[in-house]
Amino acid sequence: MYVYAEHLVWYFSEVKESIGILTKPLAPPLMSTAPLLGDLSVERPDKICYEPSAEPDLEAQEYLIYFITGNPGLISYYKPFLSGLHSLLATCSSTVSARFHICGHSLKGFEFSKDDENAKLPKHPLSLAEQIDFQEDLLYRHIKSHRERTGNTPKVILMGHSVGAYILLELIGNHRDKIDEGEEDFDLIGGILLFPTITHIAKSPLGMVASKVLNIPYLPVIMGALAKFLSSLLPASLFHKLVKLVTKFPEYAAQSTTAFIKSPMGVRQALHLAKDEMATITEDKWDTEIWGAATAEGTNNRDTINSNLTMYWGQKDKWVADHTRDALIKARGRKTYGSEIEPWKPVMLRDEEGMPHDFCTTYLNSNKVAEKVKDWVDEIIQNHKREIS
pLDDT digits (tens, 9 = 90+) for 178-215: 877 877 678 899 999 999 999 999 999 999 999 999 99
Q: The whole model's pTM is what?
A: 0.87
26 versus 258: which is more confidently predicted? Answer: 258
- Does 69 have pLDDT greater than 50? yes
Say which residues have a Cβ less than 8 Å from residue 46's Cβ, sequence separation at least 6.
Answer: 40, 74, 75, 105, 106, 110, 111, 112, 119
Confidence band for 57, pLDDT divided at 50, 70 and 90:
low
Of 6-15, 286-295, 317-326, where does mean pLDDT reach its minimum? 6-15
| C-beta separation of 115 from 122 below 8 A | no
Query: Which of these, 344, 319, 324, 323, lies nearest to 333 by C-alpha position?
Result: 344
For the chain, percent of residues with pLDDT exceeding 90: 60
Report pLDDT for 10.
Answer: 40
- Provide the number of structural domains found in the chain: 1
- Rounded Cα distance, 50 and 64, in Å: 10
- Measured CA distances, 161 to 62, 129, 190, 345 (Å): 23, 17, 15, 20
pLDDT of amino acid 53: 72
Cβ-Cβ contacts under 8 Å for 142 (sequence gap 6 or more): 37, 38, 64, 66, 103
Domain range for 33 is 5-388
Residue 76 has pLDDT above 70, yes or no: yes
- Please check the confidence at residue 73 and state whether its pLDDT lies above 70: yes
In whole numbers, what is the pLDDT of the chain averaged over residues?
83
CATH no. for residue 131?
3.40.50.1820
Supply the DSSP symbol for 311: E
Dihedral angle over CA of 314, 315, 316, 317, nearest 10:
10
- Give residues with Cβ within 8 angstroms of 354, minimum separation 6: 315, 316
Mean pLDDT of 92-118: 78
Q: What pLDDT does residue 25 have?
A: 42
